[in-house]
Amino acid sequence: MLEYQIFFDYAPILLIGFWLTIKIVVCAIALGIPLGLFLALGRRSNFVIISFLSTSFIELFRNTPFIIQVFLFYYVLPFYGLRLSAEYIGVLALAAFGSAYFAEIIRAGIDAVPKGQLDSARAIGMTDWQAMRNVILPQTLSIVIPPLTNQTLTLIKESAILSTITVHELTMTGLMVQGETFRPFEVFIMVALLYWALNETIATIMRKFEQNTKKNRKAGSIGNSSTTLKKSTSIK
Amino acid sequence: MTSNFLELKGLYKTFDNITALNNVSLNVSKGEVIFIIGPSGCGKSTLLRAVNWLTPPDKGEVWLEGNLVGSSSSKLTIKEAKLLNNLRAKMGMVFQQFNVWPHLNVLENVVRPQLVVAKRNKANAESKALKILDEVSLHNKIDEWPDHLSGGQKQRLAIARALAMDPILMLLDEPTSALDPELVGEVLIVLKRLVNNGMTMLIVTHELGFASEFGDRLLFMDGGEIIEEGSPKKILTMPKTKRLKMFLKKLDITSFKH
Ligand SMILES: Nc1ncnc2c1ncn2[C@@H]1O[C@H](COP(=O)(O)OP(=O)(O)O)[C@@H](O)[C@H]1O
Ligand SMILES: [Mg+2]
């Protein structure tokens, strides 16, 4: 039988953990998307060193387990004199992990913009960065919003792994409550519901946002190559 | 200025094993209108894209009004890269596929490069844009998205965008080739006005009537080389080489089919 009292007794403390999860993910995204953009541009750079470093970073973080990355951040950063609380380390690890995926999404978005767009921007006298900023990236935006959203949902779920380095986020709080109550079913149902509610809320908001950007400008205006990308990457 | 308004010196470019430009040199004087014809893949686009260094040649140099646009013999310094962007702004380029910017409306397409590249203030940029959009008969479309324009309107927008930078040279790569036949005329009207205003132009086209009426010079290219050049009427009526004769014959047959 379910013990409903547990839901009421432990909801407040779980919500505190939930709030920390939200804060960590928001910070990780706020860091991760600019870093991802930087890496995406770095990977396409003509400077061999920059493109090599960017590519290495992206591939490293995409091809190793997140939990190992978290351990490395947790044990290696202090070794180099960077003494941060577990929360901050968690944010950095999540941001680094996310940025590798954000970078690939942004790069695919940039590649989906027809080549003639860059030609016309360069031919009129724009620098590479001006062309990116004024012509390419704005067209990339509507292409990358769905996959960036999906990646954000993934980050929220992956943030549970930060419980392994004593970050008192939602999963960690759930583990503690279950240790106290020995009612894993009730506790983890609540934890699961909270993650689900957060993801569903974000997905809904972003779907609305996507529809609005489409309405503002005729869909498919990015060129044919991107419509296929768009279809395959709509928000789940 | 005399014959060295625009100077192309020994341009050479290969892609993999294909020679797109084979030692092309050309002097263009101010106000001259030069048409370029030749079979598909002969290097016409590559030549135009070499002029503004969009496709840097493997060998050769380009000079505009005594300024070095680009030289294959040295890598660009930061200062030269900046100069190159300034020179590019003076060379308006018009593409076969229009390449208007779909995320900006008609007015913004013409305003944005003025703000970003020419560093004009918004009021000046907008009044200039409105004036030029009026000249290409798009004044009643300024709030429209490019996707809602016809091909002919898109190409006129692309021309307006280039003209707003006050170019001293226009490079046009098959500006009417992607258009439905009934839309070619409205773009040619705009181009003819440019010719009459004394704009220096390099135009790749298959519109031979346009070329022979308005061209000061016609170049026939094949295999990355300029095979024949001279006054359009003379070249089109009395081709010297077998290759040009064949090319004109083919063009005649295809245009006859239309
Ligand atoms: N970016 C490129 N990569 C590889 N080959 C190219 C590229 N651009 C042009 N070429 C080749 O160079 C030759 C000349 O091309 P182009 O200048 O576009 O010809 P045209 O405009 O006369 O049709 C063609 O054989 C074409 O396939
Ligand atoms: Mg071409």
Task: List all residues of chain B from 165 to 224 with a beta carbon under 8 Å from chain A.
Answer: 165
Tell me whether residue A63 is exposed, middle or buried, using C-beta atoms within 10 angstroms of its C-beta: 0 to 12, 13 to 18, 19 or more: exposed
ipTM rounded to 2 decimals: 0.92
Q: Is the pTM of this model over 0.80?
A: yes
Domain assignments of chain A as residue spans, ordered by start: 5-224
Tell me whether residue B47 is exposed, middle or buried, using C-beta atoms within 10 angstroms of its C-beta: 0 to 12, 13 to 18, 19 or more: buried
| Nearest to A197, CA basis, from A72, A50, A18, A6 | A18
**CATH number at A5-224:** 1.10.3720.10
Residue A221: the pLDDT is: 39
pLDDT band at B252 (very low <50, low <70, confident <90, very high): confident
| Nearest to A95, CA basis, from A170, A142, A26 | A26
Q: How far is A123 from chain B (nearest CA, A)?
A: 6
Query: Does the beta-carbon distance from A116 to B85 stay under 8 Å?
Result: no
Ligand nearest to the CA of B174: 2
Q: How far is A202 from chain B (nearest CA, A)?
A: 26
Residue B258: the pLDDT is: 43
Mean per-residue pLDDT over chain B, rounded: 93
CA distance B206 to A183: 80
Tally the residues of chain A: 236
Q: Are strands B6-15 and B18-28 parallel, antiparallel or unpaired?
A: antiparallel
Q: Which domains does chain B have, with CATH numbers?
A: 6-42+99-255 (3.40.50.300)
CA distance B190 to B228: 28
Residue B3: the pLDDT is: 53
Residue B254: the pLDDT is: 66
- pLDDT, tens only, B98-156: 999 999 999 999 999 999 999 999 999 999 999 999 999 999 999 999 999 999 999 99
- pLDDT, tens only, A18-46: 999 999 999 999 999 999 999 999 998 88
- pLDDT, tens only, A72-130: 999 988 888 778 899 999 999 999 999 999 999 999 999 999 999 999 999 999 999 99
Q: Which of B81, B92, B103 sits opposite A217 (nearest CB)?
A: B103
Tell me whether residue A50 is exposed, middle or buried, using C-beta atoms within 10 angstroms of its C-beta: 0 to 12, 13 to 18, 19 or more: middle
Q: Is the pLDDT of residue A234 over 90?
A: no
